[in-house]
Amino acid sequence: MTALARLLVLAGPILLLVMTAIAGYAYSQVHALSLPIPEALGIFTVILPLITGISTQGAYGLLKRSRNAQSQLTLPLIAVISFQLIYETIIATLALTNILPPSSLGCGLESKWQKLFTDKNTRAIRAIQDRYNCCGFNSVFDRAWPFKNPAQEPGNCAEAFGRSKSCFGGWRGAQQFNAGLFLLVAVVVFVLKIFAIVYLLTSFSSIHSSWVRPSKKITRGDIEHSPEDNRAAMRRLIEEGDGDGGYREDVGGERSERPAAAVNGSGQEQGPRVEPSQLVDDGNQWRDGEE
Which pLDDT score is estimated for 107? 93
Which pLDDT score is estimated for 75? 72
Which pLDDT score is estimated for 199? 75
- Please spell the DSSP secondary structure of the chain, one letter per residue: --HHHHHHHHTHHHHHHHHHHHHHHHHHHHHHTT-SS-HHHHHHHHHHHHHHHHHHHHHHHHHHH-S-GGG---HHHHHHHHHHHHHHHHHHHHHHHTTS-GGGHHHHHHHHHHHHHHTT-HHHHHHHHHHHT--SSSSTTSSPSSPP-TTSPPP-HHHHHT--S-SHHHHHHHHHHHHHHHHHHHHHHHHHHHHHHHHHHHHHHHHHHHH-----EEETTEEEPPHHHHHHHHHHHHHHHHHHTTEEE-TTS-EEE-PPPEE-TTS-EES----PPP---HHHHHHHHH-
Which pLDDT score is estimated for 205? 56
pLDDT tens by residue, the chain, 291 residues: 566 556 666 788 898 999 999 999 999 999 999 999 999 999 999 999 999 888 877 766 666 666 554 444 567 777 878 888 899 999 999 999 999 888 889 999 999 999 999 999 999 999 999 999 999 999 998 999 988 765 444 568 888 899 999 999 999 999 999 999 999 999 999 988 888 777 777 765 554 444 444 444 444 444 445 555 566 666 776 666 555 544 444 444 444 444 444 444 444 555 455 555 555 455 444 444 444
Write down the pTM of the prediction: 0.67
Which pLDDT score is estimated for 171? 96
**Structural domain boundaries of the chain?**
1-213, 214-266
